[in-house]
């Protein structure tokens, strides 16, 4: 899960998710982030259209790994996203089953990050169904049943629940920011971290200084 799609080789991989402008993408690159996440989900304030995806994809090329985040997207939508962004990873952040993950991997030949919402030990156990199917499992705070979007709410969960994680490659997300990321890494030994709202100055609006500070804090952990 490195910036070159190789197996993880760095102490902590950092993903900045929900980037939507050239300025904030360049800020993530300058800060030394490994992965840039782009959201394709219209209900999200971080959603980008295909034209923006083409622009950002070209800007990111060979400089940072590109991750396309979708929520229960069908094949036609994924076709369009892959054509526009040329992502290095597909992130499935909805209710996709292990079978659907296999289908997506087979169709596109890209590594898949599968998000798993966590509120209890049972949720962590349920995520084991994706081991050996998804290339990376991303543990995020489980959204409320009536939540409009499945992530990016700035909510953390009990990190102690991850003590039983057996996945080889996994990421920690949910409520991370520059103040708590080092402690989160220390307590969970997460090999990778993902942040979105924790580096924003307003909902859906990334802050370059916060991006730089987050990456620095993660790397100093």
Domain regions of the chain by residue span: 13-219
Q: What angle do CA 7, 13, 18 make, to 5 degrees?
A: 115
C-alpha gyration radius of the chain:
16
The reported pLDDT for the residue numbered 167 is 86
What pLDDT is stored for residue 147 in this prediction?
Answer: 60
Whether 140 is a known active-site residue: answer yes
The pLDDT value given to residue 50: 98
User: Domain 13-219 sits in which CATH superfamily?
Assistant: Aldolase class I (3.20.20.70)
Predicted local distance difference test score (pLDDT) of residue 145 = 63
pLDDT of residue 162: 95
Q: Is 34 a catalytic residue?
A: no
Residue 192 is predicted with a pLDDT of 97
- In order, the DSSP letters of 165-193 are ---SSEEE-SS--TTTHHHHHHHH--SEE
pLDDT, residue 6, reads: 40
* pTM for this entry: 0.91
Nearest to 141, CA basis, from 198, 179, 203, 217: 198
Walk along the chain (221 residues) in steps of 10 and give the mean pLDDT of each run.
47 95 98 98 96 98 97 98 98 97 98 96 95 97 69 79 89 96 95 96 96 96 72
Point out the catalytic residue in the list 34, 88, 140, 169: 140
């Amino acid at each position: 899960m490195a910036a070159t799609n190789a197996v993880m080789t760095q102490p902590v991989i950092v993903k900045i998710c929900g980037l939507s402008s050239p300025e904030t993408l360049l800020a993530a690159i300058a800060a030394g982030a490994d992965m840039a996440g782009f959201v394709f989900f219209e209900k999200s304030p971080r959603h980008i259209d295909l034209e923006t995806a083409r622009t950002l994809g070209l800007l990111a090329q060979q400089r940072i790994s590109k991750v396309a985040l979708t929520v229960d997207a069908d094949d036609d939508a994924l076709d369009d996203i892959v054509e526009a962004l040329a992502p290095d990873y597909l992130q499935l952040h909805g209710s996709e089953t292990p079978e659907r993950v296999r289908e997506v991997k087979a169709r596109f030949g890209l590594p898949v990050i599968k998000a798993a919402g966590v509120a209890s030990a049972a949720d962590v156990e349920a995520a084991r169904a994706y081991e050996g199917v998804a290339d990376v499992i991303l543990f995020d705070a489980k959204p409320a049943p009536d939540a409009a979007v499945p992530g990016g709410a700035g909510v953390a969960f009990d990190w102690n629940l991850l003590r039983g994680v057996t996945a080889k490659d996994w990421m920690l997300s949910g409520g991370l920011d520059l103040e708590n990321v080092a402690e989160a890494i220390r307590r969970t030994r997460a090999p990778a971290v993902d942040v979105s709202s924790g580096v924003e100055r307003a909902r859906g609006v990334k802050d370059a200084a916060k991006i730089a500070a987050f990456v620095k804090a993660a790397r100093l952990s």
